[in-house]
Amino acid sequence: MRFSPRLKLIFILIAILICVPSSIQAQDESQIVAVGSGIVEPVLQALVDASESGANFNSSVTGTTTGFADFCSGQADITTATRRISTDEKTSCAQNQVVPLELTVGHNILVFVGHPGDDALNVCLTADELNTIYAPSAEGDVTNWNQVLADGPDLPLTVLAPGEITPDYTILDALIEGDGIRGDASAADSADSVITTVSETSGAIGVITLPQAAAAGDSVRILELDAASTQGCQSPSASAVEDGLYPAAELLYVYVNTAGMDKTGMSAFLNYAVSDAALATVETLGFTPLTDVAAQTNRDNLQAAESGELLAQTDTGFVIPAGLTGQVDIGGAGEGYSFLKSASDGFAAVEAGVTVNLTLEGLPAGLRRLCNGEVDLVYTDRDLTSDEAANCAANNITLQTVPVGTPAVVAVSNADSAYLSCLTTSELTTIWDASSTSTITNWNQVNADFPDTPMTLFAPNPGSLTTDLLLLAASGQSLAGRVDVQLSDDPLYRAAATANVDGALTYLTWSEYQRVLANNQANIQLTAVDSGQGCVTPDLAAVRSGGYALTRPGKLIVNQSGLTRPEVQSLLWYIFSEDHFGSFDSSGYVGIRLTDLSDIRSSLLAAFDAARTAAAEATPEPESTAEATAEVTEEPTAEATAEAG
C-alpha cells in the first residue's frame, strides 16, 4: 500500500510536534519565525521555496491552538492553522498590538465515495445519515443500507474510514456525533485501497480527498452532502467550502503579523503566496486550491496590510442584553422585505420587548425619512443621490453603511432551445416588460436571429419582488411585469414546465435555483446574461464580483445616532450572528459568507464606538424608551417597489 507524499510529510511533522516546546525561544531578529499546524506547514514551506524570496524562515510545528497563542503574544511572525482565528485569540492579539493578516491558502476537502454501479445509492447524504453510518453507536448494529436510508435497498453496508492519525480522520470525526468513528469500520491505509475496495464492492462507502476522487474518475461515485440549513445538496468543491455549504473540509490558513512584514524576504514571499502561481503549488501537495474569489480576497487583504489599513479587531465586548425594550423603525426599498422580515421575526423571538416597525414605502421616501431622523435605518440597493446626501447633511445626520449581500435572479430556459443560452439585458427587458403584453409573442420578435417559435413564459404571480428585481437590474428602471404568461409562485413547477416546452423561459432567485438543482430537474439550462461585456453565466463568483448583471447589491444605511441605542445595536448584531446566517440564503442573498460574520461584527463594534464618541461630543438630549411589545409590521406598501429605483 502506498502513502501519499503529503501524508508521509504530515506524519513526520506530527512526530516532530512531540519534541517541540509550546513557547518559542529567542530568535535572531532577521529570522521569520513560523509556528502552527502540522497540516498547513508543508504548504507554507512549499510556498516559501517557490517564492525564491531569500527569507530566513525558522518553522516549528506547534499545532493550531498553540500557534495562535505564540503568534498573538508576539513570539512568532507567522502561524499556520486549520481554522480561523477565534474571538478570544483576536482579543489576545489586539491586547498585544498584533495586527494579523489572514490568508487562505487552500482546502483539505473530503469526499464520500460509493460503488459506481449502485444507482440506488446515488443520494445526497444528510447529517443524520452520516451519523447512522459512521457514529460509534453504529458499530455492529448498522450493517445494511436499508437501515441508513428510508427507502434504501436491502444491500450490505461496507464502511471504510481513514486511519486515526490522518488529517482526514480528524475532519470526519468532527462531522460525526460521539467520540471517534465506529470501531468496526475498515481502516484504509491509502486512498488507492479505498478506491479499489469501493470500486469492487457494491454497498461500500469510503472517504478520500477531492483530488484523489477526481483522479479516480469513473471508478467511484461521488456522493453529495445535504447542507439543509442553507442550500440543500452540495457537491464537494472549493466554492462550496468557501461559502460554508460543504462541511466535510478544513480550510488552510496562514496568519502574518503585519509588524514583521518589513523583514527580509517577507514581501516577496507574500506576493507569491497571493499569486495565481501559488494555486498550482498548493495543488501539487494534494490539496484543493482556492477559487478566484478567495484568491482575490487574499490580494485585497495583502494590499490593505501594506497600506496600513488593517486594524486589530475583535468582536467581543457586546452581548445582546436580556429583557431589552425599545423600538426600531426601518424604511426603504421593498426588495429588502423578505430579508428584513426574517431578521425582524427572528429578533422578536430573542427580544420580545423590542418593536420593529418595518415600513418599506419605497427608497426615496425611506431615505427622506432617514435624513429627517424619522427612521433608524433603511434598506437600499443604491447610493444616495446628491440631493439626498445634502438633506442628511443639512439635518446633521451622519450615516453608516452595512452591506448585507446581493440578491440575484437567474434566467432558466429549455435545454433544447440553444438560442436562449445567452440573452442581453435589453432582450430580457423586451421579454418581460408589461409593454410587450400580447404584442411580443414569438422569439424572432425579440431578436431577428432567433427562430419563429412561440414564446412560452413562466413567471411568479403579480407583485413578486423577484420580477421587480429582474426588470430593475435588466433595464435600470422600475417596470411592471407582463401578465400574459403562465403564473405560479412554485419555482419547481416553473422549472419543470420550462423543461417540457421548446422556447420556454422562466426566472428564479438564486436560492430557488439551488432548490431546482437539488430536485435534479432535467432538460433545463442556465441562461447567461450579456450586459455589454459578453455573456456571463451566473455563479457565486460572478455575483460577488458584480460581473453578472441581474443583481442589486443590498445594504443597510443606518443613522449613526441610532447606533448608541441598545435595541438598534442588538438588531444589527443579531442580523450578522451565526444563528441568523441561514436567512441570507433563504431570502435569496449571496456574498456574505459564514466566515465573514466575525469581521462584520468587529466593524459594527467600531461603528458603535464611533457613534458613542460622536454623541458625547454633541452632548445629545437624553432619550426616552417607550414600553413595547414584540411586533413587526407587515408587507411593504404598494409604492415601495415602484419607488425603489
Q: 326-406+554-618 has which fold?
A: D-Maltodextrin-Binding Protein; domain 2 (3.40.190)
419-433, 520-534, 608-622: which range is least confident on average?
608-622
pLDDT at res. 466: 87
pLDDT at res. 643: 44
Q: 109-242 has which fold?
A: D-Maltodextrin-Binding Protein; domain 2 (3.40.190)
* 3-class secondary-structure state, position 35: strand
Report whether 376 contacts 369 (CB < 8 A): no
- Cα-trace Rg, the chain: 27
Candidates 364, 374, 333, 379; CA nearest to 571 is 379
Q: Which residue has the higher pLDDT, 463 or 360?
A: 360
Instruction: Please report the DSSP string for 171-234 in residue order.
Output: HHHHHSSSSS--TTSEEESSHHHHHHHHHHSTTEEEEEEHHHHHHHGGGSEEEEEEETTTTEEE
- Burial class of 8 by CB neighbour count within 10 A (0 to 12, 13 to 18, 19+): exposed
Other Cβ atoms closer than 10 A to 317: 12
Q: 5-106+250-306 has which fold?
A: D-Maltodextrin-Binding Protein; domain 2 (3.40.190)
Specify the pairing of strand 100-114 against strand 221-227. Answer: antiparallel
pLDDT band at residue 381 under the 50/70/90 scheme? confident
Span 597-612, mean pLDDT? Answer: 87
Q: Does 109-242 match 5-106+250-306 at the fold level?
A: yes
Which among 83-87, 131-135, 187-191 has the top mean pLDDT?
131-135
pLDDT at res. 312: 62
pLDDT at 15 over 60: no
pTM for the model: 0.66
pLDDT at res. 315: 57
Q: Look up residue 523 and give its three cell numbers.
A: 432538460
pLDDT band at residue 100 under the 50/70/90 scheme? very high
pLDDT at 361 over 60: yes
Report whether 233 contacts 513 (CB < 8 A): no
Phi, psi (degrees; rounded to nearest 5) at 484: -85, 50
Structural domain boundaries of the chain?
5-106+250-306, 109-242, 326-406+554-618, 409-545
Q: Which residues 6+ apart lie within 8 Å of 621 measured at CB?
A: none
pLDDT at res. 632: 47
SS3 content of the chain, % helix, strand, coil (to 5): 40, 20, 40
pLDDT band at residue 153 under the 50/70/90 scheme? very high
Give CA 580 to chain center in angstroms. Answer: 13
- Average pLDDT over the chain reads 86
pLDDT at res. 135: 94
Using one digit for the tens of pLDDT, what is the confidence trace for 404-438?
A: 888 889 999 999 999 999 999 999 999 999 999 99
Class assignment of domain 409-545?
A: alpha beta
Distance CA 448, CA 435 (A): 19
